[in-house]
Amino acid sequence: MNTIEAIILGIVQGLTEFLPVSSSGHLVMAQSLMGVAPDGGIVFEVALHVATLVAILLYYFKRVSSLTVGAFTGDADSWRYIGKLALATLPAIVIALTLKSFIENQFNAPAVAGAMLLITGCIVWTTRYTITKGDALEPTWTHALIIGCAQAVAILPGITRSGTTLAVGMALGMAPLAAAEFSFLMGVIAMAGAAVLLLPEISAASPEMIANIWVGGAAALISGLAALVIFVWLLKSQRFHIFAWYAWAAGTAFLIWLGVS
């Protein structure tokens, strides 16, 4: 993988991490279409996810700062919200630790990403019917765990994390922007955890891979911030469900390409 390819993959990651079309699935498809595979395997992908984590922290800086200050000052509301974020993260941690080899194998099977995108389309389409019905500003403890289970399923390439957790949150009665905030802040913990688990592999990466991680990460950060702005605009304009058509088209086209190539 050269520098240009790392930048392209970084842009793909940044745009698709927040738009409901599955960043992991698009990375698998992009690598397959470009005929490249990062030397560090899943390490490069996790590094790009960390870059989009930084984008979340920047976009939600005021909210993150408020929660941080609240935690240090003993604010009950802040601790309750942080507790729900932590609870929602547990299912993904359990799945990542117990099924690590299985998950990594799915990233090496491009057809899985294409097939899962078809499911992603169905998940995103449900938001057409729930986007105006919820008004809760945060989930209950039970609902937080359910949203966390949705995030765990989205570990599979092709299943959108942002779209799945948002769709489930709204189906459980959350207001769209509140569901989006909870989804993205929950993702911070999951992404940070994945990075910690892979620290030994990252530290052992070659200088070339480290360089690719930096340039790819920068591209992911910039494109990720742009995607966050688009994501929130789509929620406010109640057009979020239109990405279902893209997911169906992309998944179908990729599967056809795999079949004829």
Tell me the pLDDT tens digit for each residue of 76-119. Answer: 999 999 999 999 999 988 888 888 778 878 777 888 888 999 99
- Mean residue pLDDT of the chain comes to 86
Nearest to 51 by CA among 212, 260, 207, 163: 212
Under DSSP, the state recorded for 159 is S
pLDDT of the residue at 175: 94
Q: Please report, for residues 10, 66, 177, 222, the alpha-carbon distance to residue 157 in angstroms, rounded to integers and kept in the order given.
A: 16, 33, 25, 22
Distances (CA, A) of 84 to 97, 104, 167: 21, 28, 18
Could you give the 3-state DSSP secondary structure of residue 33? helix
Cβ–Cβ contacts within 10 Å for residue 43, how many? Answer: 20
Q: Using one digit for the tens of pLDDT, what is the confidence trace for 45-62?
A: 777 878 888 888 899 999
What integer pLDDT is reported at residue 40 of this predicted model? 53
Return the percentage of the chain with pLDDT > 70, whole number: 92
Give the pLDDT band of residue 38 (cuts 50, 70, 90): low
Per-residue model confidence as pLDDT tens digits over 171-207: 999 999 999 999 989 878 777 776 776 666 666 667 7
How many whole angstroms separate alpha carbon 1 and alpha carbon 17?
21
CB neighbours of residue 101 within 10 Å:
7
Of residues 225 and 97, which shows the higher confidence score?
225
Q: With bands split at pLDDT 50, 70 and 90, how would you rate the model's confidence at 169? A: very high
Tell me: the pLDDT tens digits for 229-247? 988 888 888 888 999 999 9
Write down the domain spans for the chain.
Answer: 3-260
Region label for 238, one of left (φ > 0), alpha (ψ between -120 and 50) or beta (otherwise): left
Give mean pLDDT, residues 139-167. 92
Q: pLDDT, tens digit, for every residue of 130-140? A: 988 888 999 99
Average pLDDT over residues 13-37: 78
